[in-house]
Homo-oligomer: A and B are copies of this chain.
Amino acid sequence: MRRSIATVSLSGSLADKLTAIGGAGFDGVEIFENDLLVSGLSPEDVRRRAADLGLAIELYQPFRDFEAVPPDVLADGLRRAEHKFAVMERLGATRMLVCSSVSPAAIDDDALAAGQLRLLAERAAEHGIRIAYEALAWGRHVSDYFHAWKIVRMADHPNLGLCLDSFHILARDVDPYAIRTIPGDKIFFLQLADAPALPMDVLHWSRHYRCFPGQGDLDVAGLVAEVLRTGYDGPLSLEVFNDIFRQAASMRTAQDAMRSLIALEEQVGVRAGASVTGLTSPPPPVVPSGFAFAELAAPTGALGGLLDALGFVRVGTHAGKPVELWQQGTARVLVNSGSAESPDGPALGAIGLESPDPAASVKRAEALLSPVLPRMRGPHDAPLDAVAAPDGTEVFFCRTARPDHPSWTDDFSENRRSADAAAGEITHIDHVALTQPWHHFDEASLFYRSVLGLRPHESLELPDPYGLMRSRAVSTEDGAVRVALNVAYVGAHDGSHDLAWQHVAFASRDIVATARRFRASGAEMLSIPANYYDDLEARYDLGAERRRLLRELNLLYDRDGQGEFLHFYTETTGRVFLEIVQRVGDYRGYGAVNAPVRLAAQHARPRRGSG
């Protein structure tokens, strides 16, 4: 399929937008009228630039409030249209989007609408232009695609067809099933946008919160599958109005958009099966089976005490770099004192994921436009398969200590036999939590979903003392890999730099024992206020002994229909803190209900190791 995007989806000048779109490998572009009007480029300039960048101008948009009006308004509409046709001829564009009218002047009369659209199509035909008529979700009389299709049928002119837009259809919960009744050659254009489920007026939602397919909650792939079954052979074209994308760097947004289309085509292929051809497909996702390690950049000795107190054992040292390997069960932590010191102190720099096929994992990531990291780091290192996540975290694909593949652990001299690492109660890494810059949250969400094949969970808002924090977890089906993506509020005050906290959560099979061990070693856990425990008593009848234990050990508690969750936190060092969790039964969450008390306690404490 040809891939296209509307210029309104990106930030910057029209020249910047075209460059970004061309650079990301699109085949075509929709020129949003306002972008042209405010530009110093003439239509001829735009035409040349687009051609130089290998971009077809697929659509000029939008033309508004044309149909079903009294004669004098019609005359004005036709006059306006002639002006647009002239601009389009200069642009070399042959398709114009006409939105269903929102004007109070419009009359609820399908025959009138059809007659006037036919007139417009006749005029357009004289210029070799085709009209794509689109039902806006908030159109005055025409607000869904089968109504628009009825009018197009009535108008019956070869230069008049439909434009379908996934947002306008799915946002109003209109069933896309009937699309299959439309001949493919009468669908002149297909615009695509996703959106997160938000409870608001559809127009407000559309103007501010659209996002690229795969970043929201609409079933865009299902709709595209319907459209392709008709034989539609025009482009898949993204049209996104998003307050954040308007502010983000256009090159990066264009790449993100392209990633979205690649992932979308793959999903459409799955949905449509053999009935649709011409879809390109990246190598299949390689779902990780667990965490291999978490790598913390920290000065020597900064984290040793903490890890030791949790029962970790320093089992190895890297042969060529100042990196220590700490282990307990299959939970492995690398402490790298050689990486460039962050001004904020210790930070989570990389995660390792167990992959059935590391090379295939990288191929998948590369096909989805993730930056692949150099495979060889040092002359004696084992080869590495790694990519950079959108927030800069390095993601390594590993096969740890398997006979069929070199293991990254081979680079480490064995200080202690790894059997010794089984002394404590910690069994594995339960999850990692990564704070995303506010303008890369959607991109990150798509990365973890499309590149790693993780599934998104519910989107949450967590009240921090200094703002609302958005959080969304992604995980494998079986929960073996869980990543909590947080996005911090912008922060109007000096403490805003506190917001980039990251953490690694370890699963313990006996959190009480881990907490006791930790405390006995003299390490400090995050202290939880007494008021929390008083309230816990009001909420749950836990029994006196258990209550005492929770309070004594600063354990937080949650339960859901499937099980229970116990957790505690270490103090924060630099940007990083550690969490110990115990899942009882089939609890699936992350203790989000306790996030406010954790965040308040963290803000209340002076931080260690901070710059």
Contact = CB atoms under 8 A, between A and B. Distances in A.
Given A13-B465, A38-B532, A38-B601, 16 more contacts: A11-B467, A13-B603, A37-B535, A37-B596, A38-B599, A40-B601, A41-B529, A43-B531, A84-B538, A199-B201, A199-B204, A243-B468, A246-B467, A246-B489, A247-B491, A247-B493
A359 interface: no
Interface string A515-544: 000000000000101111011011100000
A529 B535 CA distance: 64
A402 interface: no
A36 B246 contact: no
A11 B535 CA distance: 22
A39 interface: yes
Contacts of A596: 34, 37-38
A66 to B, nearest CB: 13
Interface string A361-382: 0000000000000000000000
Contacts of A529: 37-41
A37 B204 contact: no
A42 interface: yes
Contact of A600 (B33, B39, B247, B535): B39
A473 to B, nearest CB: 21
Given A201-B199, A246-B466, A83 B534 contact: yes
B466 A247 contact: yes
A89 to B, nearest CB: 13
Interface in A480-514: 489-493
Interface residues of A, number: 61
Contacts of A538: 79-80, 83-84
A125 to B, nearest CB: 20
Contacts of A466: 11-12, 246-247
Contacts of A40: 527, 529, 601, 604
B246 A80 contact: no
Given A200-B201, A492-B439, A247 B467 contact: yes
A568 to B, nearest CB: 16
Nearest to A38: B600
Contacts of A208: 468
A586 to B, nearest CB: 23
Contacts of A203: 199
Given A11-B466, A465-B12, A247 B489 contact: yes
Contacts of A12: 465-466
Nearest to A249: B493
A302 interface: no
A419 interface: no
A274 interface: no
A534 B33 CA distance: 12
A325 B246 CA distance: 41
A532 B37 CA distance: 5
Interface string A425-448: 000000000000111000000000
A182 interface: no
A463 interface: yes
Copy number in the complex reads: 2
A494 B395 CA distance: 28
Interface string A575-611: 0000000000000000000001101110110000000
A407 B268 CA distance: 75
A505 to B, nearest CB: 20
A87 interface: yes
A198 interface: yes
27 contacts: A12-B466, A33-B535, A34-B463, A37-B531, A37-B532, A37-B597, A38-B465, A38-B600, A39-B531, A40-B604, A41-B529, A43-B531, A79-B538, A83-B538, A198-B204, A199-B201, A199-B203, A199-B204, A243-B467, A246-B466, A246-B467, A247-B466, A247-B467, A247-B489, A247-B493, A438-B492, A439-B492
A248 interface: yes
Interface of A: 11-13, 33-34, 36-43, 79-80, 83-84, 87, 198-201, 203-204, 208, 243-244, 246-249, 437-439, 463, 465-468, 489-493, 527, 529-532, 534-535, 537-539, 596-597, 599-601, 603-604
A200 B438 CA distance: 23
B13 A492 contact: no
Most buried by B among A466, A490, A596: A466
Nearest to A13: B465
A339 to B, nearest CB: 26
Contacts of A244: 492
**Most chain B C-beta atoms within 10 Å of own C-beta, residue among A34, A87, A531, A600:** A531
Contacts of A200: 198-201, 204
A466 B249 CA distance: 9
Contacts of A198: 200, 204
A34 B598 CA distance: 12
Nearest to A246: B467
Nearest to A43: B531
Nearest to A537: B83
Contact of A490 (B79, B84, B490): B490
Contacts of A42: 530-531
Contacts of A33: 535
A438 B198 CA distance: 23
A-B interface, 6 closest residue pairs, ranked by CB to CB distance from nearest? A200-B200, A199-B201, A83-B538, A38-B600, A439-B492, A247-B467
Contacts of A492: 244, 247-249, 437-439
Contacts of A36: 531
A601 B38 CA distance: 7
